[in-house]
């Protein structure tokens, strides 16, 4: 739209009023609430000095906590990708009693406070709980182990994949599937070669959203995790513990590591998606 002849402009002319007021309000609030506080975090982490940063960053407890948070979030997001895709498919394609109710219930993890989710998951997945007692005879403990962390992370990430895949499935044109079927493709082949590639970008978006949410999750996890250092202690809990010991710099370093790793991951997925979109057209 802008050619070499048009002068550089910060915004296109408009007769609508209020741009300055609206943008000013937004930028002021954004800076005061989000940007300046986050900058303070990075400054605090940097002020610790290289030796201290290195000591915190490479301490076995920090690494174990970060590994649990990121690996747990990854596994939970993968589980949600599989079951979320099935769930979205069932909700869009099949008609069965209670479908609308189930569709509405999928958003429960968005609405239910994390502390409530945490204590109720702990209650049912504990060895004497309704689900935990089914596994206890086989020597499988869910609550108060890393498995419990996954359960909580699956819960809070559940709606993301369903809600990103569902609208794409709804708008999928069935003529392509019919064409594939008429050309002799089996149903399974049609789904894996025709349907899934069209859903893949939305599935990846939902996966990333679920992952990003799970990495930082605290409330629902701490009740079910058991919080044993090096075993079932998540990174956000380690930040809280450092803070309670008045080790502000240590807390800031762990928090900064979390933010840098998750932003790097989210950014690289976005780049992959942008690359795929350029290659395959707007899918």
Partner 1 sequence: MSDTAPPFVAAPVRRKSAHGESLGVRIALIAVSLAFLLLFLALPLASVFVEASAKGWEAYRAAITEPDAQAAIRLTLLVAAIAVPFNIVVGVAAAWAIAKFEFRGKNLLISLIDLPFSVSPVIAGLVFVLLFGAQGYFGPWLQAHDIKIVFAVPGLILATIFVTFPFVARELIPHMQSLGTADEEAALTLGASPWRVFFRVTLPNVKWSLFYGVLLCNARAMGEFGAVAVVSGKIRGLTNTMPLHIEILYNEYMGAAAFAVASLLAGLALVTLALKTFLEWRFGDEIAASRRH
Q: Nearer Cβ to partner 1, position 16 or 51?
A: 16
In whole angstroms, the minimum distance from the beta carbon of 116 to partner 1 comes to: 4
Alpha carbon distance 69, 133 (integer Å): 26
- Taking the chain, what is the end-to-end CA distance rounded to the nearest angstrom? 24
In whole angstroms, the minimum distance from the beta carbon of 94 to partner 1 comes to: 6
In whole angstroms, the minimum distance from the beta carbon of 156 to partner 1 comes to: 10
Q: Nearer Cβ to partner 1, position 64 or 251?
A: 251
| Sign of the C-alpha dihedral computed for residues 71, 77, 78 and 83 taken in this order | positive
In whole angstroms, the minimum distance from the beta carbon of 216 to partner 1 comes to: 3
- HEC per residue, 20-89: HHHHHHHHHHHHHHHHHHHHHHHHHHHCCCHHHHHHHHCCHHHHHHHHHHHHHHHHHHHHHHHHHHHHHH
In whole angstroms, the minimum distance from the beta carbon of 40 to partner 1 comes to: 5
Alpha carbon distance 249, 242 (integer Å): 9
Q: Nearer Cβ to partner 1, position 59 or 227?
A: 227
Radius of gyration of the chain (CA): 23
Q: Nearer Cβ to partner 1, position 24 or 197?
A: 24
Q: Nearer Cβ to partner 1, position 94 or 281?
A: 94
Residue whose pair of structure tokens reads 């939902």 in the numeric block: 206
């Amino acid at each position: 739209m802008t050619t070499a002849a048009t002068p550089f402009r910060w915004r296109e002319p408009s007769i609508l009023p209020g741009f300055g007021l609206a943008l000013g309000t937004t930028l002021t609030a954004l800076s005061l609430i989000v940007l300046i506080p986050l900058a303070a975090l990075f400054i605090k982490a940097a002020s610790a000095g290289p030796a201290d940063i290195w000591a915190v960053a490479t301490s076995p407890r920090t690494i174990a906590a970060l590994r649990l948070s990121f690996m747990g979030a990854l596994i939970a997001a993968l589980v949600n990708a599989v079951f979320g895709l099935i769930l979205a498919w069932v909700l869009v394609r099949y008609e069965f009693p209670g479908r609308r109710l189930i569709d509405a219930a999928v958003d429960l993890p968005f609405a239910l406070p994390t502390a409530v989710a945490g204590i109720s998951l702990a209650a049912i997945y504990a060895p004497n709980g309704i689900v935990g007692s089914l596994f206890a005879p086989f020597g499988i403990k869910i609550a108060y182990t890393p498995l419990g962390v996954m359960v909580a992370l699956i819960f809070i990430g559940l709606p993301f994949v369903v809600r990103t895949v569902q609208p794409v499935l709804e708008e999928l044109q069935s003529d392509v599937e019919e064409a594939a079927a008429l050309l002799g493709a089996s149903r399974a082949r049609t789904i894996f070669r025709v349907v899934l590639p069209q859903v893949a970008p939305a599935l990846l978006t939902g996966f990333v959203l679920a992952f990003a949410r799970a990495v930082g999750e605290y409330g629902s996890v701490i009740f079910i995790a058991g919080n044993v250092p090096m075993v079932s202690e998540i990174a956000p809990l380690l930040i809280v513990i450092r803070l309670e010991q008045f080790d502000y710099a240590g807390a800031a370093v762990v928090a900064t590591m979390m933010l840098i790793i998750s932003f790097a991951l989210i950014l690289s997925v976005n780049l992959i998606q942008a690359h795929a979109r350029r290659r395959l057209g707007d899918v």
